[in-house]
Amino acid sequence: MTISMKEAIFKEPIFIGDIVSCYAKVTNVGNTSITTAVKFVVERLNEGGFLECVPVTTAEVTYLSVDKSGNKKPISAELKRLHGFLN
């Protein structure tokens, strides 16, 4: 479940017809949460008719691990180690 999304300032507009892609990288894993850095990029035709990729914004997004009842669920040490967040 998403618990927070820090400021997202759009550096470029997103137009109808743009293809929006989101690229995320895990930056931190806590006891019950995962924080990611997300970059949003659009593909559009420029004035010359060529396809270009334009970065539009970035954001930091934090997700909370929960069980089916919505209670916080610990993230296992094994999973953290598997993804390089524990030695």
pLDDT tens track for 19-62: 999 999 999 999 999 999 999 999 999 999 999 999 999 999 99
SS3 86: coil
Name the band, by pLDDT with cuts 50, 70 and 90, for residue 87.
low
Q: Looking up tokens 């990729």, which residue turns up?
A: 53
Q: Please state, in angstroms and rounded to a whole number, the distance separating the CA atoms of residues 40 and 71.
A: 30
CB atoms within 10 A of CB 20: 11
pLDDT tens track for 73-84: 999 999 888 888
Q: Please state, in angstroms and rounded to a whole number, the distance separating the CA atoms of residues 53 and 44.
A: 7
87 or 46: whose pLDDT is higher? Answer: 46
Q: Which of 29, 20, 18 is nearest to 57 (CA)?
A: 20
Looking at residue 85, its pLDDT comes to: 83
